[in-house]
């Protein structure tokens, strides 16, 4: 067979291409599949965090902030280990972003606190001198959409087998709202804004609380 291939360059080239392509797939696919599995300790987004992620996308935060640390020394020195696909196993859609006007937020939960986010969303320039980010005062007054987040969590559980427990994702909507409210109350303890306090006391969740829950989960 090989003698025949040597006499027919076209078929030899095809044979060589198929052989290398097959070997490449055998080498690449298992490693890619392993890398795309959830990293150790990664948890699905809670209902409150999903509501916050939806606010993050609605306010177009990903237009100015990436969530993807590239494997360059200048980036890893500032933001830590470069991003790997397993960190985004539960992101649908992912929020990598396409531009970095502000800092990367891939692991913002490791170095920013709830009270920092509160102050920053109210007065970015007062917290970060020279910032061009606008304030977001309406986040402290508008109510987070927990119902949509709950429906989204149910969808990814059924469609993608996202490993939610019954405690994380109750079958009943009202029970799910109670779970989100309890998480929101824990976060709101570190928020000083009176509108947030009033809303939480009335068993409502302002958008700022949901957004902070999402940002705090980025680690």
CA angle 13, 19, 21 (to 5 degrees): 100
CATH number of the domain that residue 104 is part of: 1.10.760.10
Co-location of 146 and 171 in the same domain = yes
Co-location of 132 and 91 in the same domain = yes
Indicate whether 24 belongs to any domain. Answer: yes
Co-location of 187 and 90 in the same domain = yes
What count of Cα atoms within 13 Å lies in the side-chain half-sphere of residue 172?
Answer: 4
pLDDT at site 23: 77
Co-location of 110 and 171 in the same domain = yes
Please state, as a whole number, how many other Cβ atoms lie within 10 Å of the Cβ of residue 117.
20
pLDDT at site 131: 95
Given a contact cutoff of 8 angstroms between Cβ atoms, the answer to whether 125 and 131 are in contact is yes
pLDDT in tens, the chain (219 residues): 667 767 778 888 888 888 888 877 776 666 555 556 888 889 999 999 999 999 999 999 999 999 999 999 999 999 999 998 899 999 998 899 888 999 999 999 999 999 999 999 999 999 999 999 999 999 999 999 999 999 999 999 999 999 999 999 999 999 999 999 999 999 999 999 999 999 999 999 999 999 999 999 999
pLDDT at site 97: 87
Indicate whether 127 belongs to any domain. Answer: yes
pLDDT at site 2: 65
Indicate whether 133 belongs to any domain. Answer: yes
Domain that holds residue 21: 2-35
Tally of domains within the chain: 2
What count of Cα atoms within 13 Å lies in the side-chain half-sphere of residue 183?
Answer: 26
Co-location of 187 and 128 in the same domain = yes
Q: How many residues are recorded in the chain? A: 219
Residues 72 and 31: their CA atoms lie apart, in Å, by 21
Co-location of 31 and 83 in the same domain = no
Nearest to 87 by CA among 209, 212, 217, 177: 217
Given a contact cutoff of 8 angstroms between Cβ atoms, the answer to whether 207 and 139 are in contact is yes
Please state, as a whole number, how many other Cβ atoms lie within 10 Å of the Cβ of residue 182.
10
Residue whose structure tokens are 């969740």: 205
Determine whether 78 is exposed, middle or buried from the number of CB atoms within 10 Å of its CB (0-12, 13-18, 19+): exposed
Indicate whether 160 belongs to any domain. Answer: yes
pLDDT at site 16: 81
Indicate whether 40 belongs to any domain. Answer: no
Co-location of 79 and 113 in the same domain = yes
Residue whose structure tokens are 């992101």: 91
Given a contact cutoff of 8 angstroms between Cβ atoms, the answer to whether 45 and 90 are in contact is yes
Co-location of 30 and 55 in the same domain = no
Residues 34 and 146: their CA atoms lie apart, in Å, by 33
Cis status of the peptide bond prior to 93, with omega within 30 of 0: yes
Indicate whether 196 belongs to any domain. Answer: yes
pLDDT at site 90: 94
Co-location of 138 and 170 in the same domain = yes
Given a contact cutoff of 8 angstroms between Cβ atoms, the answer to whether 126 and 119 are in contact is yes
Would you list the DSSP string of 50-69? HHHHHHHHHTTGGGT-----
Indicate whether 51 belongs to any domain. Answer: yes
Co-location of 18 and 75 in the same domain = no
pLDDT at site 24: 76
Indicate whether 42 belongs to any domain. Answer: no
pLDDT at site 32: 54
Question: What 8-state DSSP symbol labels residue 143?
Answer: B
Co-location of 27 and 56 in the same domain = no
Co-location of 141 and 166 in the same domain = yes
């Amino acid at each position: 067979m090989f003698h025949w291939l040597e006499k027919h360059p076209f078929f030899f080239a095809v044979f060589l291409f198929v052989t290398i392509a097959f070997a490449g797939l055998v080498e690449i696919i298992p490693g890619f599949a392993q890398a795309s599995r959830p990293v150790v300790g990664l948890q699905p987004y809670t209902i409150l965090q999903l509501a916050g992620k939806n606010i993050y996308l609605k306010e177009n935060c990903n237009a100015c902030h990436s969530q993807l640390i590239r494997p360059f020394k200048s980036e890893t020195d500032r933001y830590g280990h470069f991003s790997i696909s397993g960190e985004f196993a539960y992101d649908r859609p992912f929020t990598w972003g396409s531009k970095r006007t502000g800092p990367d937020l891939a692991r913002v939960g490791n170095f920013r606190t709830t009270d920092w986010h509160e102050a920053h969303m109210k007065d970015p320039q007062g917290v970060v001198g020279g910032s061009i980010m606008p304030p977001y005062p309406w986040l402290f007054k508008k109510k987070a959409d927990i119902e949509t987040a709950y429906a989204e969590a149910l969808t990814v559980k059924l469609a993608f087998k996202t490993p939610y427990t019954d405690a994380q994702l109750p079958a009943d909507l009202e029970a799910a709202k109670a779970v989100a409210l309890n998480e929101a109350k824990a976060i709101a303890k570190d928020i000083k804004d009176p509108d947030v306090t009033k809303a939480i006391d009335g068993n409502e969740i302002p958008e700022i609380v949901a957004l902070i829950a999402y940002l705090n989960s980025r680690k």
